[in-house]
């Protein structure tokens, strides 16, 4: 379930990019969950035409996925196509510059160009990409050369998994009860937490890995049912290839950013050596598990890890024993048949804690910060006095600070009635705890709120001083007040822009990783 | 010692009771029954039901006979709190190790923290025993500082995020410390490289704003009408 400010922020982004009508459709889907076209029209009170077009825009930009839910009940409305909004993909939109930067760093500027087109238009066929490139290319360039170059760049992007085949336009999922019934026979051990509709629809829509990143694999391209390779001739194959729709694979970018965060976090907490080991571990298992949210890294044998470590400049001087010692320090002492795995979730949680703690330090001061860190570590209810004692905070001050944290939802408190030893009197103890999952959700919501306000403010600043942006440069330099105004706008935009980027790093940490 | 004192109250009380008036013995017994917790005058009045003048006189008498003493409690320094002479005020009353006259001795704590922190930053890494040995050798503390107190200080430094608790891996800075031993390491020695830095969210405009809960496009304060950007946000953030 997306939080209230999360929805507002997403709607704001869609309004900015596609206008109010599309945003209304998007908001309705965010608030109500998956809906059929009829219901969407009813809830939004928009014309059928408007809703349909909005859905097309949202699908084109990978913000909506259509699906059919086949169920046991014969309810008519259930077998109709429903539309599911993909909140995460909306939030990726302000991250596009980050994604382009990654491709520029990892591949080259030609690939970045192809990626830019895909980000701008949402989904493109190879033919469309070639057309775009030819428009920009100079006349002398042979169109065949351009086509080859685009094809080659797309291949590179596919190899690196930064681009993927579009998912099936519409998928069919089976009613949850039926799945549960089928699962009933299995042992409890194999039971996984039930997936949400969103997860099931997304999973069903993604084509198998073999064709997802393949330019040439001949299949029923945008469909989830795999067809047998047929003996079709090359021309036909080429034609088909040109019609396949491609889009950006956000998952890979997020994984890249997650790995970066993990490595830098370990570097900051431990040292360069530990960061090198983590990096090597992630690099070596890069292609085995491609998901973003994983608890542990894929198990890797020490030999393989070592080979990866010494590939890096920092790792060159490391011995096997040293690598082992780092693994122990990283808490991966438990080996599964000589293979090591790093608890990635733990590092992510540490990073989240650090972020929340820094908020506490800034807002409530050092004493509150110590108490909060103490409670985070304890992971259980602690009485007021005990907290004050362990953190060396004045016992009379402690309740005041704790109450402030409670009021702002940073702590959880419960009252406990205990009888006083040696008398029949009862006294009330206040017990405090940090409820991490709840707190993280709350902080995330605060972040969405701040992101919305920041971006509204940015729009306002630009709008307010719009005329200055149209004044020629020499005129600005000539007049002092104009220059001052211009400088201010520049500063504010720079500050707000960089703040938004930083806030977005934090949003990813709390939502995506 | 304490335990010895506590085990013989009966005898003591019997010894002194004959010289007490009826009121005195009622009041004394009440105070005595509260042991090392003591009792507030308000509670005494309520529980003994003695008229105010009698009560005050009796209390004075007991004081002059050195049978009870006044103690400061951390909970309520203004309130008069009494305890039978043979008890030492409990931790609940005094606040414990770090309290003097019912007040947390912040100067003392700060001084100790400073010494510990400086030592660790100089050594890069140290165990608790290592620090204790050094302080003993150099006569850093007078005998009043116990190993538990030093441990308390180390723990608060960890909570302050000034130092971190790590286990030795036997390499580099840890070379002189057996593998697996818990030690303390300075946080500032760890360089933060790369672009990602933590804890920057709190300084972000809007996120750091105390008015954010009222501020939305249609709220009491709105990002369009906000006046704080020019006043303090921009300044605060740029200064960082
Ligand atoms: S827009 Fe202004 S008032 Fe609103 S949260 Fe941001 S800084 Fe605070």
Q: How far apart are CA A435 and CA A380, in angstroms?
A: 9
Query: How many A from CA of A450 to the centre of ligand 1?
Result: 8
pLDDT on residue B199: 66
Identify the residues whose C-beta falls under 6 Å from ligand 1: A 453, 457; B 205-206, 209, 211-212, 215, 221, 223, 226, 228, 233
pLDDT on residue B124: 83
Q: How far, in whole angstroms, is CA A331 from its chain's centroid?
A: 26
CA distances from B51 to A356, B46, B97 (A): 56, 10, 38
Spans of all domains in chain B = 2-102, 106-186, 199-240
Q: What end-to-end distance do the CA atoms of chain A give, in Å? A: 16
pLDDT on residue A222: 40
> Does residue B156 belong to the interface with chain A, where contact is any CB pair within 8 Å?
yes
> Does residue B11 belong to the interface with chain A, where contact is any CB pair within 8 Å?
no
* pLDDT at residue A95 tops 60: yes
Average pLDDT over residues B113-121: 89
pLDDT on residue B207: 83
Beta strands in chain B (DSSP E): 39-40, 68-71, 81-84, 99-100, 103-104, 125-126, 163-167, 182-186
Average pLDDT over residues A158-177: 81
Q: How far apart are CA B138 and CA A441, in angstroms?
A: 51
Tokens of A396: 């009379």
Q: How far apart are CA A414 and CA A232, in angstroms?
A: 70
Cβ(A391)–Cβ(A370) under 8 Å?
yes
Report which ligand 1 atom has the smallest distance to the Cα of B223: 1
Residue A117 makes CB contacts below 8 A (sequence gap 6+) with: A124, A129, A132
pLDDT-based confidence at residue A309 (cuts at 50, 70, 90): confident
A51 and A106 belong to one structural domain: no
Cβ(A158)–Cβ(A214) under 8 Å?
yes
Q: How far, in whole angstroms, is CA A164 from its chain's centroid?
A: 17
Where does a domain end: A411, A434, A457? Answer: A434
Chain A interface mutation, best of B155, B182, B204, highest count of A Cβ atoms under 10 Å: B204
pLDDT on residue A422: 60
A351: in domain: no
Computed on alpha carbons and rounded to an integer, the radius of gyration of chain B in Å comes to: 28
Give, to the nearest 10 degrees, the angle between helix A480-511 and helix A436-464: 160
pLDDT on residue A387: 92
At A73 the three-state DSSP class reads coil
Alpha helices by DSSP H, listed for A160-249, are: 176-183, 197-205, 209-212, 234-243
A172: in domain: no
Handedness of CA A211, A216, A218, A221 (dihedral sign): positive
pLDDT-based confidence at residue A383 (cuts at 50, 70, 90): very high
Contact check, Cβ <8 Å, A499/B199: no
* pLDDT at residue A179 tops 80: no
How is residue B233 annotated by DSSP? I
Q: How far apart are CA B106 and CA B113, in angstroms?
A: 10
A157 and A240 belong to one structural domain: yes
Handedness of CA A29, A35, A36, A38 (dihedral sign): negative
Place of tokens 């405009």: B205
A139 and A241 belong to one structural domain: yes
Round the average pLDDT of chain B to a whole number and report it: 77
Tokens of B107: 């100067």
A163 and A292 belong to one structural domain: no
From the list A307, A294, A376, A270, the residue with the least C-alpha distance to A342 is A294
Q: How far apart are CA B131 and CA A502, in angstroms?
A: 40
pLDDT on residue A385: 87
Q: What is the pTM of this model?
A: 0.78
A401 and A456 belong to one structural domain: no
Alpha helices by DSSP H, listed for B124-179, are: 128-137, 147-159
A8 and A80 belong to one structural domain: yes
A188: in domain: no
Alpha helices by DSSP H, listed for A107-164, are: 109-121, 126-136, 143-159
Query: How many A from CA of A351 to the centre of ligand 1?
Result: 26
A141 and A156 belong to one structural domain: yes
Structural domain that includes position A259: 252-342
Cβ(A507)–Cβ(A342) under 8 Å?
no
- A137-164, pLDDT tens digit by residue? 666 567 778 888 888 999 999 989 999 9
Q: How far apart are CA A86 and CA A249, in angstroms?
A: 14
Q: How far apart are CA A129 and CA B9, in angstroms?
A: 95
Angle CA A73–A75–A77, to nearest 5:
135
* pLDDT at residue B232 tops 60: no
A185: in domain: no
Q: How far apart are CA A203 and CA A328, in angstroms?
A: 36
Tokens of A160: 């690196």
pLDDT on residue B99: 81
Contact check, Cβ <8 Å, B196/A326: no
A157 and A297 belong to one structural domain: no
* pLDDT at residue A235 tops 70: no
In angstroms, what separates the C-alpha of B22 from chain A's closest C-alpha? Answer: 24
pLDDT on residue A190: 43
Q: What residues in A contact B170, CB-CB < 8 Å? A: 325
Q: How far apart are CA A314 and CA A323, in angstroms?
A: 12
A125 and A231 belong to one structural domain: yes
Q: How far apart are CA A212 and CA A158, in angstroms?
A: 9
A106 and A217 belong to one structural domain: yes
Q: What residues in A contact B160, CB-CB < 8 Å? A: 366, 369-370
Residue B52 makes CB contacts below 8 A (sequence gap 6+) with: B45
At A415 the three-state DSSP class reads strand
Angle CA A334–A337–A339, to nearest 5:
70
Cβ(A3)–Cβ(A448) under 8 Å?
yes
- Which CATH number is A237's domain given? 1.10.10.10
pLDDT on residue A236: 66
Identity of the residue in B201, B215, B234 whose CB atom sits nearest the CB atom of A502: B201
A229 and A129 belong to one structural domain: yes
Q: How far apart are CA A231 and CA A218, in angstroms?
A: 10
Does A230 or A139 have the greater pLDDT score?
A: A139
> Which one of A98-112, A166-180, B35-49 scores highest in mean pLDDT?
A98-112
* pLDDT at residue A447 tops 80: yes
Query: How many A from CA of B225 to the centre of ligand 1?
Result: 9
At A76 the three-state DSSP class reads helix
Report which ligand 1 atom has the smallest distance to the Cα of A450: 5
The protein residue with its alpha carbon nearest to ligand 1, atom 6, reads B206
Query: How many A from CA of B207 to the centre of ligand 1?
Result: 8
Tokens of A72: 């046991």
Does B207 or A57 have the greater pLDDT score?
A: A57
Query: How many A from CA of A448 to the centre of ligand 1?
Result: 13
Round the average pLDDT of chain A to a whole number and report it: 83
A77 and A14 belong to one structural domain: yes
Q: How far apart are CA A171 and CA A203, in angstroms?
A: 10
pLDDT on residue A333: 59
Residue A145 makes CB contacts below 8 A (sequence gap 6+) with: none
Q: In degrees rounded to 5, what are phi and psi of residue A383?
A: -75, 155
Chain B interface mutation, best of A372, A457, A510, highest count of B Cβ atoms under 10 Å: A457
Does B156 or B142 have the greater pLDDT score?
A: B156
A155: in domain: yes
pLDDT on residue A303: 79
Cβ(A171)–Cβ(A225) under 8 Å?
no
Contact check, Cβ <8 Å, A503/B207: yes
Per CATH, the architecture of B2-102 is what? Answer: Orthogonal Bundle (1.10)
Q: How far, in whole angstroms, is CA B47 from its chain's centroid?
A: 32
pLDDT on residue A498: 86
Closest residue in chain A to residue B204, using alpha carbons only: A499
ipTM of predicted assembly, 2 dp: 0.70
Number of domains making up chain A: 5
Average pLDDT over residues B50-65: 89
* pLDDT at residue A426 tops 90: no
Q: How far apart are CA B151 and CA B128, in angstroms?
A: 7
Instruction: Enter the CATH code of domain B106-186.
Output: 1.10.10
pLDDT-based confidence at residue A328 (cuts at 50, 70, 90): confident
Contact check, Cβ <8 Å, A395/B195: no
* pLDDT at residue A238 tops 90: no
pLDDT-based confidence at residue A334 (cuts at 50, 70, 90): low
């Amino acid at each position: 379930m997306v939080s209230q400010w999360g929805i507002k922020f997403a709607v704001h982004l869609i309004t900015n990019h596609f206008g109010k009508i599309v945003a209304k459709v998007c908001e309705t889907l965010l608030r109500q969950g998956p809906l059929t076209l009829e219901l969407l029209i009813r809830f939004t009170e928009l014309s059928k035409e408007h809703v349909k077009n909005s859905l097309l825009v949202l699908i084109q930009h990978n913000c909506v996925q259509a699906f059919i839910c086949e169920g046991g009940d014969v309810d008519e409305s259930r077998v109709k196509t429903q539309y599911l909004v993909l909140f995460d993909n909306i939030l990726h939109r302000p991250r596009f510059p980050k994604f382009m930067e990654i491709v520029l760093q990892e591949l080259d500027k030609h690939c970045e160009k192809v990626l830019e087109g895909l980000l701008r238009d949402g989904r493109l066929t190879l033919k469309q990409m070639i057309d775009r490139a030819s428009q920009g290319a100079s006349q002398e360039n042979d169109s065949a050369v351009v086509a080859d170059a685009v094809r080659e760049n797309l291949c590179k992007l596919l190899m690196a998994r930064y681009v993927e085949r579009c998912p099936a336009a519409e998928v069919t999922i089976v009613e949850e009860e039926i799945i549960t019934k089928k699962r009933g026979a299995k042992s409890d051990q194999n039971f996984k937490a039930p997936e949400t509709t969103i997860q099931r629809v997304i999973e069903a829509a993604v084509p198998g890995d073999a064709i997802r990143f393949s330019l040439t694999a001949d299949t029923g391209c945008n469909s989830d049912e795999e067809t047998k390779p047929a003996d079709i001739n090359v021309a036909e194959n080429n034609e088909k290839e040109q019609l396949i729709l491609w889009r950006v694979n956000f998952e890979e970018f997020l994984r890249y950013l997650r790995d970066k965060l993990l490595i830098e976090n370990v570097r900051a907490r431990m040292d360069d050596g530990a960061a090198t080991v983590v990096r090597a571990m992630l690099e070596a298992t890069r292609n085995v598990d491609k998901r973003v949210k994983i608890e542990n890294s894929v198990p890797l044998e020490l030999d393989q890890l070592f080979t990866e470590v010494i590939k890096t400049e920092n790792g060159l001087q490391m011995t096997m024993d040293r690598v082992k010692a780092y693994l122990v320090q990283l808490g991966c002492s438990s080996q599964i048949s000589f293979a090591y795995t790093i608890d990635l979730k733990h590092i992510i949680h540490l990073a989240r804690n650090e972020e929340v703690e820094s908020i506490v330090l800034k807002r409530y001061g050092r004493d509150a910060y110590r108490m909060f860190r103490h409670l985070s570590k304890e992971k259980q209810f602690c009485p007021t006095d005990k907290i004050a004692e362990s953190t060396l905070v004045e016992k009379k001050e402690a309740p005041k600070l704790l109450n402030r944290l409670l009021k702002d939802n940073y702590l959880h408190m419960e009252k406990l009635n205990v009888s006083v030893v040696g008398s029949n009197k009862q006294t009330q103890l206040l017990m405090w705890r940090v409820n991490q999952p709840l707190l993280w959700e709350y902080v995330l919501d605060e972040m969405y709120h701040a992101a919305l306000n920041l971006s509204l403010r940015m729009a306002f600043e630009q709008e307010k001083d719009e005329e200055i942006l149209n004044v020629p440069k020499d005129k600005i330099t000539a007049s002092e007040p104009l220059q001052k105004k211009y400088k201010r706008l520049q500063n504010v935009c720079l500050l707000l822009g960089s703040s938004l980027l930083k806030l977005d790093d934090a949003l990813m940490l709390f939502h995506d990783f | 010692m304490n335990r010895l004192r506590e085990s013989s109250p009966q005898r003591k009380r019997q010894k002194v009771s004959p010289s007490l008036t009826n009121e005195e013995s009622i009041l004394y017994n009440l105070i005595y029954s509260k042991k090392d917790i003591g009792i507030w005058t308000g509670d005494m009045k309520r529980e003994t039901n003695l008229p105010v003048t009698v009560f005050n006189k009796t209390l004075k008498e007991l004081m002059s006979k050195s049978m009870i003493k006044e103690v400061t409690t951390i909970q309520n320094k203004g309130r008069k709190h009494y305890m039978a002479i043979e008890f030492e005020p409990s931790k609940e009353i005094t606040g414990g190790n770090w309290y003097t006259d019912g007040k947390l001795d912040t100067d003392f704590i700060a001084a100790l923290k400073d010494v510990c922190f400086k030592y660790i930053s100089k050594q890069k890494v140290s165990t608790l025993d290592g620090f204790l040995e050094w302080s003993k050798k150099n006569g850093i503390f007078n005998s009043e500082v116990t190993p538990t107190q030093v441990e308390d200080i180390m723990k608060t430094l960890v909570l302050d995020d000034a130092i971190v608790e790590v286990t030795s891996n036997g390499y580099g800075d840890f070379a002189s410390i057996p593998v697996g031993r818990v030690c303390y390491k300075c946080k500032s020695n760890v360089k933060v490289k790369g672009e990602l830095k933590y804890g920057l969210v709190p300084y972000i405009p809007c996120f750091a704003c105390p008015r954010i809960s009222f501020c939305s496009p249609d709220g009491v304060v709105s990002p369009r009408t906000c006046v704080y950007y020019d006043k303090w946000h921009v300044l605060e953030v740029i200064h960082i």
